[in-house]
Structure 1
Amino acid sequence: MRHIAIIGSGPAGYYTAEAAIKQWGDDIRVDVFDRLPVPYGLIRTGVAPDHQTIKAVSRRYEKTALTDNVRFVGNIAIGQDISLADLQALYDAVIIATGAPHDRDLGIPGADLPGVIGSAAFVGWYNGHPNFADLNPDLSGRRAVVIGNGNVALDIARILSKTRREFEGSDITAHALDAIEGSKLDEIVILGRRGPHQIAMTPKELGELGELERAAPVVDPDDLPAVTDDDPLEPGQRKSVQWLRQFAANRVEKPLRISFDFFARPVSIVGKTRVEGVEVERTKITDGKLVGTGEFYMVPCHLVISAIGYRSAPIPGVPFDEKAGRFASDDGRIAVSPETGGLYAVGWARRGPTGTIGTNKPDGFAIIAKLAEDIARGAIGPEGKAGRPGFDALAAERKLDIVTFRDWQKIEEAEVAAARSGAPREKFTLVEEMIRAGR
């Protein structure tokens, strides 16, 4: 019998667990660890609450989680409750699937002013992540600036723009719903250093901006390249740019504007005691490279949300690529030895925050293939590690309060029962509440 520990219960973690079952069948035991008492990671706290069809993929993970081979071990912080060395002593392989839960540093003066929020925190706030439930962003100003040209920036702009009625069917938390309903915003500016051809926004998410009740997207026609320049683009990218062209051509007046400001590089956040504006340099692309023009201007605002990407959280003793914000590995292999077993990274922890949720499936299967190869060539020692029973003994000795998948199902039942009319659930935002519900 082989034993695997997976750190992280998001898409990468469960796709990897699924792959392990398909590789070894009944000859494998997989423990999936998470620091929170609830599973699914990004699906629960990262995917926009109004994108319930995407969240439905969790039912696939549930099928894997309910097999006898796989166990969810929630409310366990690696490095605090138990060390990586402990896991390596108990399991044949440890696979890091922690994702990229932290924001990339904005890296400009004033980024630490009150009123500047990272997208991980802001998205966590409206999705009910316990770390950010009490964020309480100030929505009393007239203008917010979102820095970034990816889907996360679009999600934030869309969520801030919706009416209460438009959130029907979503699982946005009650505290966020009330705050957004009371918002005084009449403009959200999306700042991007590059132009329309360089955006990382998908057509579906862009198209949603044109369907909002009280908000309308605004694009300056002068920011758009010639139509013939769209020809070399990939089909999806071309469709995204076509949406921008449509927004520029069909200007619709609504109470709230979502203004795209392209070729705009933030150089500093300005304010005395809190954010008062963003200083921006106009840019251009010359020979494929982004260069500043020396033209500067100010975008007054009361709130800045940075959505420029994410990075993984380092684990002591594990090689980490600081520049890339992910674990350093040889295509997923971090270290392999007969004594300590195999140490691997998968998903965003391996490749950085790129790709879709589905991208984690082939990634998970590829890592399990590497693990199987390492076992076959003798790079990992023979069977005989304590695995799950060994962890349970250690947990009992340390009096760790483990939350199982059955406990999670009780938490989920309680969240569904507490849902407001038209919502699928009302999430618990305190770990203590989750644990009580699970018991």
Structure 2
Amino acid sequence: MPHVITQSCCSDGSCVYACPVNCIHPSPDEPGFATAEMLYIDPVACVDCGACVSACPVGAILPDTKLGDGQQVFVELNAAFYPKREGKLPPTSKLAPVAEAPVVHPRTGGPLTVAVVGSGPAAMYAADELLTQQGVRVNVFEKLPTPYGLVRAGVAPDHQTTKRVTALFDRIAGQRGFTFYLNVDVGQHLSLAELAEHHHAVLYAVGAPTDRRLEIDGMALRGTNTATEMVAWINGHPEYASLPVDLSTECVVVIGNGNVALDVARIFTTDPDALARTDVSDHALAALRNSRVREVVVAARRGPSASAFTLPELIGLTNTHEVVLSAEDHDLVQRDLVTESDPLTRNKLELLAKLGDASAPIVRPRIRLAYRLTPLRVLGADEVEGVAFTVTGTDEVRELAAGMVLTSIGYRGKPIRDLPFDESVAVVPNDGGRVAGTPGVYVAGWIKRGPTGFIGTNKSCAAETIRNLVDDYNAGLLTDPTARPSALDRLVRGRQPDVVDAAGWTAIDRAEIERGGADRPRDKFTAVPDMLAAAATAPVPSLGRRLLSGLRL
């Protein structure tokens, strides 16, 4: 009974280290790990011990006997990653070594203290790596009253298994030496220089919070947005809760065909009663119940073999939704199948070849994948009426009527005050996480490497940064903080009286879960004042307890 990795894989890699027989690949020591769409269990080498099941933070691994009908394809998909063999042979590569956490050499002046700006996956993995050492202190600063970044606000609400990684982050936040400073905006309430006075090092893990913008005429019309903003609106992010969203149109066009584009298309065509059992925001659910959308067209500039979405996402989509192609796009798929040699891409093409015909009558909300369409301009006077495309590589123009246009062409980092910034690739210039020309300052995650990889990819990215940070500390390159440990808490509370600590976040979390009742995992607050009101119900630590917290090792 081999175990199988399914579409909710986050590429965290913990399962690789838990496996006693090295049957999960690609492993972090292999070149393909950083770009892998998912990991794969070797059915020949698997000994069915189940160690990987408990290690997986998102519940993506199941015995093959417990797979649902829509998951059976993953049995073959996992097996296809490995060569055909006669009998039971050893695993296909050397055992992936468990990377030892960097050893911190203690100093007489006090423990290594690090400020982490941001609280998404890269930030939490970095904190976890640091806290494997005794005496290290990590202070995490987040501008919202709630932590965990895109896991909370960027993962589609119908992907609840992926959101389970927050349970891992909660365990990290509960470790000795970890402190949350939520609702604190570094750059507004505190400066980099002030953080440096209280820490040996400052690590920015702020992600890539903005979208790449499509520079064509009409993108300022009412009814244009980005898919990322739409997902944030669906998830109830407080900065996007008031986004004007009009779903009275029958057709929505999404330009770009990555996983975020599929997320929006899937949510817009999902039965609202099914979404009502998730943590979708109340305002989004109300709008979706009144939606008139009948078709979402996901338009890509290139052909089917260059599809940006991952195979697991496509499998999951076709298991639950009606997805169609035009006859012309079906021909493109067949043409690509003749020449494509990459196994993963061939799997995508073979699945695309089985999709329905777009010429069939629309009987329920559906998704149409469209290829070789280069956006020319958005049509309309005051509001969106459609999109004009050129057929890629030609002068032929095609117009598609639509009442909403969303772009989904990638995330983009933004400049950070007092740090260098490379506008061409939208990252902070760095060498293994060390910020160029700025001693004692580090980066991890998307602001370090660009918006690539999956949630778990940030684990190895953060580990690299932390190894270099600790090496610098051990080499005496990081100067000791000039301020007393207890001074940080007073500084933060003086600048931001509405700071939310771990107890406040626990109160918000508990209140949201209670609001969700028996049918929903949670009913999220979408306004900062409501979050702060919930946080205020937490027990307030005494001044003495706060001082002890600042002084303890």
Correspondences of 1:69-88 after superposition (within 5 Å): 69-88=177-196
Equivalent of 1:370, from 447, 451, 468? 468
Contact persistence 1:4–1:387 (CA under 8 A) = no
Higher relative contact order (CA 8 A, sep 6+): 1
Contact persistence 2:210–2:414 (CA under 8 A) = yes
Matched, 1:229 2:346: no
**Match in the other structure for 2:390:** 281
**Match in the other structure for 2:223:** 115
TM-score (norm 1): 0.92
Q: Tell me which amino acid in the other structure corresponds to 1:316.
A: R
Contact persistence 2:515–2:522 (CA under 8 A) = yes
Matched, 1:4 2:114: yes
Unaligned 5+ segments in structure 2 are 1-110, 537-553
Correspondences of 1:129-168 after superposition (within 5 Å): 129-168=237-276
Equivalent of 1:218, from 325, 329, 332? 325
- In 2, the alpha carbon distance for the partners of 1:396 and 1:366 equals 33
Equivalent of 1:329, from 408, 422, 430? 430
Equivalent of 1:47, from 147, 155, 159? 155
**Match in the other structure for 2:523:** 426
**Match in the other structure for 2:293:** 185
Higher strand share: 1
- In 1, the alpha carbon distance for the partners of 2:324 and 2:202 equals 46
Matched, 1:268 2:365: no
Question: Per-residue deviation at 1:419?
Answer: 1.1
Q: Deviations over 1:309-366 (max 9, x none)?
A: 11123212211122222222223211466xxx51111111111111010000011111
Q: Tell me which amino acid in the other structure corresponds to 1:431.
A: V
TM-score (norm 2): 0.73
Equivalent of 2:214, from 106, 121, 139? 106
Question: Per-residue deviation at 1:385?
Answer: 4.1
Equivalent of 2:499, from 402, 410, 413? 402
Unaligned 5+ segments in structure 1 are 284-291
C-alpha change, 1:81 and 1:58, in structure 2 (3 Å) is: same
Question: Per-residue deviation at 1:57?
Answer: 0.7
Contact persistence 2:425–2:450 (CA under 8 A) = yes
C-alpha change, 1:106 and 1:95, in structure 2 (3 Å) is: same
**Match in the other structure for 1:289:** none
- In 2, the alpha carbon distance for the partners of 1:370 and 1:252 equals 58
**Match in the other structure for 2:490:** 393
Question: Per-residue deviation at 1:400?
Answer: 3.1
- In 2, the alpha carbon distance for the partners of 1:326 and 1:178 equals 38
C-alpha change, 1:388 and 1:186, in structure 2 (3 Å) is: farther
**Match in the other structure for 1:59:** 167
Question: Per-residue deviation at 1:165?
Answer: 2.6
C-alpha change, 1:84 and 1:295, in structure 2 (3 Å) is: same
- In 2, the alpha carbon distance for the partners of 1:399 and 1:308 equals 36
C-alpha change, 1:80 and 1:119, in structure 2 (3 Å) is: same
Q: Deviations over 1:70-128 (max 9, x none)?
A: 11110001111111221122211111101111111111111111111012211110001
**Match in the other structure for 1:287:** none
- In 2, the alpha carbon distance for the partners of 1:200 and 1:360 equals 20
**Aligned to 1:110, what secondary structure does the other structure show?**
coil
Q: Deviations over 1:186-241 (max 9, x none)?
A: 1111111111111121122112332336x44335312212423232x243x33222
**Match in the other structure for 1:19:** 129
Q: Point out the more displaced range, 391-400 or 416-425.
A: 391-400
C-alpha change, 1:15 and 1:159, in structure 2 (3 Å) is: same
Equivalent of 2:414, from 298, 308, 313? 313
C-alpha change, 1:222 and 1:406, in structure 2 (3 Å) is: same
Contact persistence 1:31–1:388 (CA under 8 A) = no
- In 2, the alpha carbon distance for the partners of 1:274 and 1:242 equals 38
**Aligned to 1:139, what secondary structure does the other structure show?**
coil
Q: Deviations over 1:137-188 (max 9, x none)?
A: 1110111000111000000000000012322542111111121121111111
C-alpha change, 1:153 and 1:169, in structure 2 (3 Å) is: same
- In 2, the alpha carbon distance for the partners of 1:252 and 1:12 equals 45
Contact persistence 1:221–1:248 (CA under 8 A) = no
Q: Tell me which amino acid in the other structure corresponds to 2:240.
A: F
Equivalent of 2:143, from 35, 54, 65? 35
**Match in the other structure for 2:348:** 240
- In 2, the alpha carbon distance for the partners of 1:226 and 1:193 equals 15
Q: Tell me which amino acid in the other structure corresponds to 1:301.
A: A
**Match in the other structure for 2:54:** none
Between structure 1 and structure 2, the one with the greater Rg is: 2
Q: Tell me which amino acid in the other structure corresponds to 2:490.
A: A
- In 2, the alpha carbon distance for the partners of 1:415 and 1:87 equals 32
Matched, 1:347 2:455: no
Q: Tell me which amino acid in the other structure corresponds to 2:388.
A: E
**Aligned to 1:112, what secondary structure does the other structure show?**
coil
Question: Per-residue deviation at 1:376?
Answer: 2.5
Q: How many residues matched?
A: 422
Contact persistence 1:336–1:379 (CA under 8 A) = no
**Aligned to 2:157, what secondary structure does the other structure show?**
coil
